[in-house]
């Protein structure tokens, strides 16, 4: 259980996020759909040769990449470019106030530009030649951060993390460390992942994909829906606003793809985040669950949450709205927590819970009205990944 030793915090402010996802591309539109529980999923067989699947596809028009260098041309980078456009006003405002600020970039991804490489490989197998504009660098893991550095002319620390579904959450934790180590004054942190044949068919081969809209923690849950998106934060060393006060990271290395059944690593990650923030479990107002809707993940996470929060915590999974955005989900769901704090509202959990799992306090659409519950000041967001990689992020409104 968390030791709850009060820490002396160095500031780590999360400015308003820039998000492009299946729920939209403006914070107001996304907040409306998020708090109303509107799914951003639609059926498509674009990646599966005739097998329609429910996918969280971004429908926002994306920037044209025809005049970019070949090694930057990918849908993943176009998603990032769209998010960067929405981050630019706050970034420019910060740099106007701090013109000598040392700016870093940390991204998370699992797909990078592999979709374009898959299409190029198909052409080579058919014709014997690569497309004229093919460049292998577009699918390298470092491509997202390299792309943003090119767009911004940034020269500070710049790297990409790829730890599957924890990638972009770990990017936020890394940004916090860069600032507190005195290496950066501000960091653009987040991530992006893109739907493509390799990803969709890869998860299908694991029998991990549901043929219906996914149902996290429900008795009939039978797999994920995949999604795509990009989420960027400007992380600064400023006081005030919404602060990233706690990060818990563990690796239980139980299995290459299955989570540790007892949720031990997930439990430790949540406890570490609470310890770093110096708060008690009952002080958390909302917990965004990883909640993938697979049998094993939801089972182990419910065990971990029941152990970490013995007195309960309002919680839910937003993957029923967006699908699982893989390497982008950590930053995307941190953005949802940011919106929950800013709007003092809780995203609803849409599905009736499995009675065989430990009982959790899910935020249903008929849950307590705002007047009957404490304000949403602190939110914890979970992300868990293949290989037993776990992270929990604690965000809170500064006094």
Specify the CATH number for 13-397; select among 3.40.47.10, 3.80.30.20, 3.30.1300.10, 3.90.550.10: 3.40.47.10
Question: Which residue, 153, 167, 7, is CA-closest to 91?
Answer: 153
Q: Which of 72, 135, 290, 349 is catalytic?
A: 290
Q: What is the mean pLDDT of residues 113-128?
A: 93
Residue ranges per domain, the chain? 13-397
Contact 135, 81 (CB under 8 A): no
| pLDDT tens readout for residues 298-339 | 999 999 999 999 999 999 999 999 999 999 999 999 999 999
Q: Is 290 considered catalytic here?
A: yes
Question: Which residue, 165, 199, 179, 170, is CA-closest to 75?
Answer: 199
Q: Which of 12, 21, 158, 165 is catalytic?
A: 165
pLDDT at 8 over 60: no
Q: What percent of the chain has pLDDT above 70?
A: 96
pLDDT at 367 over 70: no
Alpha-carbon span 129 to 364, nearest angstrom:
54
| pLDDT tens readout for residues 373-399 | 789 999 999 999 988 999 999 999 998
Alpha-carbon span 279 to 38, nearest angstrom:
32
pLDDT score of 1: 47
pLDDT at 364 over 80: no
Q: What pLDDT band is residue 3 in, cutting at 50, 70 and 90?
A: low
Q: Which of 324, 329, 349, 363 is catalytic?
A: 324
b or e along 362-397 (b: 16 or more beta carbons within 10 Å of the residue's beta carbon)? Answer: bbbeeeeeeeeeeebbbbbbbbbbebbbbbbbbbbb
Structure tokens that stand for 199 in this block: 């990803």
Q: What is the mean pLDDT of residues 281-297?
A: 97
């Amino acid at each position: 259980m968390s030791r709850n030793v009060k820490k002396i915090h160095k500031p780590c402010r999360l400015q308003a996020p820039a998000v492009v996802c299946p729920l939209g591309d403006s914070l107001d539109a996304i907040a409306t759909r998020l708090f109303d529980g509107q799914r951003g999923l639609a059926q498509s067989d674009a990646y599966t040769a005739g097998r329609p699947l429910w996918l969280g596809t971004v429908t926002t028009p994306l920037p044209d990449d025809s005049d970019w260098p070949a090694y930057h041309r990918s849908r993943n980078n176009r998603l990032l470019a769209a998010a960067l456009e929405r981050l630019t006003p706050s970034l420019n405002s910060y740099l106007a106030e701090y013109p000598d600020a040392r700016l870093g970039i940390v991204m998370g991804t699992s797909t990078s530009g592999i979709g374009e490489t898959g299409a190029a490989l198909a052409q080579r197998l058919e014709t014997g030649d690569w497309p004229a504009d093919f460049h292998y660098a577009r699918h390298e893991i470092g491509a997202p951060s390299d792309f943003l550095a090119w767009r911004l002319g940034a020269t500070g620390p710049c790297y990409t993390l790829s730890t599957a579904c924890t990638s972009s959450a770990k990017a936020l934790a890394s940004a916090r460390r860069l600032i507190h180590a005195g290496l950066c004054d501000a960091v653009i942190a987040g991530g992006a992942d893109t739907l493509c044949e390799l990803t969709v068919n890869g998860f299908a081969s694991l029998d991990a994909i549901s043929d219906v809209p996914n149902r996290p923690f429900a008795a009939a849950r039978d797999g994920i829906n995949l999604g795509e998106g990009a989420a960027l934060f400007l992380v600064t060393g400023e006081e005030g606003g919404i602060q990233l006060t706690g990060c818990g990271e563990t690796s239980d290395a139980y299995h290459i793809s299955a989570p540790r059944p007892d949720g031990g690593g997930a439990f430790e990650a949540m406890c570490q985040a609470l310890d770093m923030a110096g708060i008690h479990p009952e002080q958390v107002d909302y917990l965004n669950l990883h909640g993938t809707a697979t049998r094993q993940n939801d089972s182990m996470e419910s065990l971990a949450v029941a152990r970490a929060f013995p007195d309960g915590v309002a919680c839910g999974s937003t993957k029923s709205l967006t699908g699982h955005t893989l390497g982008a989900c950590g930053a995307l769901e941190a953005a949802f927590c940011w919106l929950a704090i800013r709007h003092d509202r809780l995203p609803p959990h849409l599905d009736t819970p499995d009675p065989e799992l430990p009982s959790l306090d899910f935020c249903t659409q008929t849950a307590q009205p705002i007047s009957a519950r404490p304000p949403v000041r602190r939110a914890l967001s979970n992300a868990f990944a293949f290989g037993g990689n776990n992270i929990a992020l604690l965000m809170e409104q500064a006094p």
